[in-house]
A and B are shown apart, each in its own frame.
Chain A
Amino acid sequence: MSSNVQMDPGGMETGRPLPPPRLSRGAVAWLRDNLFSEWHNSLLTLITAAVIGLALFFGLRWIIAGADWAVISTLGGRMIIGQYNIEAACPGQNCFWRPQAILLMTTALLGMAWGVVGNGLTKRIAIAVAVVLSLFALLPYGLDTMGLDVRLLLVANLPALGLGWVIARYTPLRTTKRVSITVVVAFIVALVLLRGLPGVPGLQTVSVLYWGGLMLNLLLAVAGIAISLPIGIALALGRRSNLPVVKLLCVVFIEVFRGVPLITLLFMSQVLVPLAFPENFPQNSLFRAAVVITLFSSAYMAENIRGGLQSLHRGQAEAARALGLASWQTTLLISLPQAIRNVIPAIVGQFISLFKDTSLVYIIGMLDVVEISRAFIQGNTEYLGSAKELFVFLALVFWVFTYGMSYVSRHIERNLGVGER
């Protein structure tokens, strides 16, 4: 800014050129602007730095020297599949291959997504997931704890990814729509595989009571996410409809489900709901829990989507009507896509809290990843001292998933240009 010198009235009065402007680029300028701009700012920086330094010092010392991480490797696979593979669940057989087959299916689907969407974030996520999964094969367990078959099936995630990619590129399954249908079919196949088919050799039924671990959390979350979004949209539309009866029903549903803790609803689903069915009616506590979690989440989802619908200018709907679109076309093709785009962060936030809420199934006695860890500590008091480590690890596991979800949502938002047009 050399013109500064001439334009500055102070400089003109004294006739002396002012000193050159202070640095505005480079590391020193950055430090000055962001950390040491004023004396109280500098003080704040120093205090914060000291606190961080101390926290890092003691934190690292604890992680390296103080903490005993053996509890995690002792729990090991139980954190992932719960009691699915114990003798009572799967008498006389090894059922471990079934969750693993589902894992392979998932990576294949990721490969298909990569093949359909092309390069970019999808590719990076797909490759990262497959590589991390195959690296699990190198865990330093003895072969008696983690057999060669288990390790090979883990490594097989890499070819599964490639297979999915090839299918999505070179077979009739190469449109987004067909891949989506494949995902739904695969989810049903996965459920059948986990549950087993009576009469089919090698596929004996495993009671849902033995489903557990992270597998259970992910299963509930995926089903909940997939189903709560459409229900939420329907409820939001119902709440905004000008039909008084429909509106009333939706408002009552939303407010009742939002007003009560999920844990109370889950408990009631186990105590109250079975009474409404005949005594010999096939009962499935996991299914009831899944329904409750999904309905609970869809009440919140409805409010998010209602917010999105309210944020739309009424001109959008009026223009659509003026173009001759029927009201259902206006809603489906004009209002909803824009409304959903506007509230992507809120929707993904709800997905995240649904995933976190899956840890509440402990109340109905399901051993999800949190509950099985807690039960393990309670049953093996010699590990009481390293319970902290276990829960720090669990926090990290959950964090990876939830932060991943919000990262993807921000990416989608950027791609859709939210807030730019």
Chain B
Amino acid sequence: MEALIRALSYKGIPLWRHVQVVQWTTQIVSGVLVVVLVVWFFANIGNAIQDREIPSGFGFLDREYQTPIGHSFLSYDSSDSFLYAFVVAFVNTLLVSVVGVILATALGIAVGVARISGNWLVSKIALAYIEFFRNVPLLVQLFFWFYIVVELPVWQDSYSVADLVFLNNRYLAIPFLSPSGLVGALVWVLVSVGGIGAAIFAYRRLIDREVRTGSAAYPILSGFAITFLVGALAWGVLSVATGDAPFSITVPNPQEPFGRVEGGFVLPGALITLMVGLVMYTAAFIAEIVRAGLQSVSRGQRESARALGLSGMTALRHVTFPQALRVIVPPLISQYLNLTKNSSLAGAIGYSDLTNVAKTMTQTAPAVSIFLMVMIAYLVLSLTYSLIGNLYNRHIRF
């Protein structure tokens, strides 16, 4: 009662100008408004699904998909389930994204460095590349590459390099390693990875020694030598032990009557188109990020490096670039995300990525459920990239 009287006889700041009152009212009103809108939206969809008898739920995931998928890295058969088909499509998108990110980074760094090169001609070429590829929609670029591939010869008249590599309007086939026995191949891969690890370790130690003593210790040479030696040694030992080389090289061999390829590794034309388009487009953005990063390193750093007698390339690798990375990495991550999301344009040129397969799936399964799964898949991919990037970013910060 007393509290009520106090509240009624409140003489302080008027309520509509009282900061806390205003803030809390804003929050409650906006929160309630959004919640009501979202609930209304999804309740309506739920009702519509019931009333119009639109299929929904996730029961379809165990059913057979019964539709071919154009190209897949995992082995897939039409009798596999929807869930497995979804995973297959997700792996396609994942691999396109990872390989695309690696290639686009390499090309982007090269163009970015060329952009600030002292050589006028090289710098202007890099500028032209950036300004053109950045400013034209990816879709137009993809269609351009698509029709270039369409005009390649049919498989009987493939461009071929010594009957090892075949390029035609359907695929690029290259020789590839195929494992002879599972155990031998696995052991060799593991040992070789260990060898690369050892090489990186040796590289770091030798660089340290170079910095400490000032005399040449050949870190790069040693790294490659160790990698090669470990690999070759393991290959030899395994060949003797199992009586067979761990891998054999298979050469692609197009077969009559439809040009099906036996052996080797076959990249379908749509995948090549997608890769070329994505990499050329994203590299233009990455180049600009790299250029801005390199230019953000203060002049004094470069000049000190020169004064210490470091050559241009060495100064770039050990002085400028590590410092530029701090500026480069955050926008670089968002370019990786863009590349991943842009790979969803694959459908336009007939490559079976996640979005494209999901779109086809909606013809025989509930669209709502499928696109919920697609959105979650892309969000997971994005968040993973962000996480890795942020961890790396923390690692390279001061």
Contact = CB atoms under 8 A, between A and B. Distances in A.
Interface stretch (B70-78, B81-89, B115-123, B156-164): B115-123
Query: Which of A263, A360, A362 is most buried by chain B, counting CB atoms within 10 A of its CB?
Result: A263
A312 interface: no
A363 B44 CA distance: 25
A359 B383 contact: no
B49 interface: yes
Interface stretch (B146-154, B216-224, B230-238): B146-154
A41 B141 CA distance: 32
Query: Which of A261, A263, A360 is most buried by chain B, counting CB atoms within 10 A of its CB?
Result: A261
Contact of A387 (B27, B40, B150, B359): B150
A33 to B, nearest CB: 8
A360 B139 contact: yes
Interface stretch (B1-9, B261-269, B366-374): B366-374
Interface string A347-382: 000001000110110110000001001100100000
Contact of A256 (B23, B137, B368, B379): B379
A244 B27 CA distance: 8
Chain A, interface residues (CB within 8 Å), range: 35 or more
Contact of A359 (B49, B118, B132, B137): B137
Interface residues of B, number: 56
Contacts of A398: 135-137, 140
A360 B341 CA distance: 13
Contacts of B122: 44-45, 48
A192 interface: no
Interface string B75-103: 00000000000000000000000000000
A377 B120 CA distance: 41
Contact of B147 (A246, A359, A391): A391
B225 interface: no
11 contacts: A249-B31, A256-B379, A261-B341, A263-B355, A271-B368, A272-B367, A275-B48, A276-B44, A276-B45, A384-B150, A398-B136
Given A267-B355, A398-B135, 17 more contacts: A41-B118, A41-B119, A45-B119, A243-B23, A260-B375, A261-B344, A261-B378, A264-B371, A356-B135, A359-B140, A363-B347, A387-B143, A387-B150, A388-B148, A392-B144, A399-B132, A399-B135
Interface of B: 23, 26-28, 30-31, 34, 40-42, 44-45, 48-49, 52, 54, 118-122, 125, 131-132, 135-141, 143-144, 147-148, 150-151, 337, 341-342, 344-345, 347-348, 355, 359, 362, 367-368, 371, 374-375, 378-379, 382-383
